[in-house]
Amino acid sequence: MLKKHSKVLYVAALVIFASSIGYMAFSGFAGGSAYFIDVADALALPRDKTHPVRLFGKVGADGIGTPDEGIGVRFQLEDNKNAAKSLWVTFKGAVPDAFAPGAEVIVEGLYQGGQNNFAAKKLMTQCPSKYKKRES
C-alpha cells in the first residue's frame, strides 16, 4: 500500500513541476514578444493600433528635451538609412551616459502610430567601437 501511495506522490509532483515549467516558458515568450524593426518599418505599421516593438536608430540633433514629468528624455529617433524618416520617443527613466545627438540607440516599448509617438520603457545606447566590423 505504501508503494502505491509513493508512486501517486511522484506522479503528482512531476505533473506540478511540468505544469510550472510550461507556464514559465509560455509567460516568458508572451511577455517578450516585441518585434525588432527600424524607424522606417515602424512608420509603415497600421496607424490605428498600438504596437509593442524594439526600434533602433540614431538620436536626432534637434529637439532633445525632458518630458513633462521632468525625469527621462524626449527626442527624435531617426532611421539609420534615411534621416528624413523619424519619430518622437518619450522615455521616463534614467538616461544612459552615452546618450547624445547622433548616438545609436535601441528603444523598447509601444509605438502609437496615430500620434507618431513611441512610448519607450527601455532605452539602451550602443557603443560604436563594440559593434564595428573588425579589419582583417
pLDDT greater than 90 at residue 10: no
Query: Looking at the chain, how many residues does it have?
Result: 136
pLDDT value of position 108: 92
Residue 132 CA to chain centroid, in angstroms? 22
Please give the DSSP secondary-structure letter assigned to residue 115: G
pLDDT value of position 27: 61
pLDDT value of position 74: 92
Query: Considering the entire predicted model, what is its pTM?
Result: 0.66
pLDDT value of position 24: 74
Mean pLDDT lowest for which of 20-24, 70-74, 81-85, 132-136? 132-136
Alpha carbons within 13 angstroms on the beta-carbon side of residue 37 total: 17
Percent of the chain with pLDDT over 70: 79
Q: How confident is the model at residue 3 (pLDDT cuts 50, 70, 90)?
A: low
Burial (CB count <10 Å: 0-12, 13-18, 19+), residue 124:
middle
Query: For 34-59, how does the pLDDT look when each residue is reduced to its tens digit (9 = 90+)?
Result: 567 888 888 888 777 777 889 989 99
Pairing of strands 35-38, 50-59: parallel
Mean pLDDT (the chain) is 80
At residue 122's C-alpha, the angle toward residues 118 and 123, to 5°, is: 85
3-state secondary structure (DSSP) of residue 91: strand
- Cell readout for 75 is 527626442
pLDDT value of position 133: 55
* Cα–Cα dist 118/24, whole Å: 29
Nearest-10 Cα torsion for 11, 12, 17, 19: 110
pLDDT greater than 80 at residue 72: yes
Q: How confident is the model at residue 115 (pLDDT cuts 50, 70, 90)?
A: confident
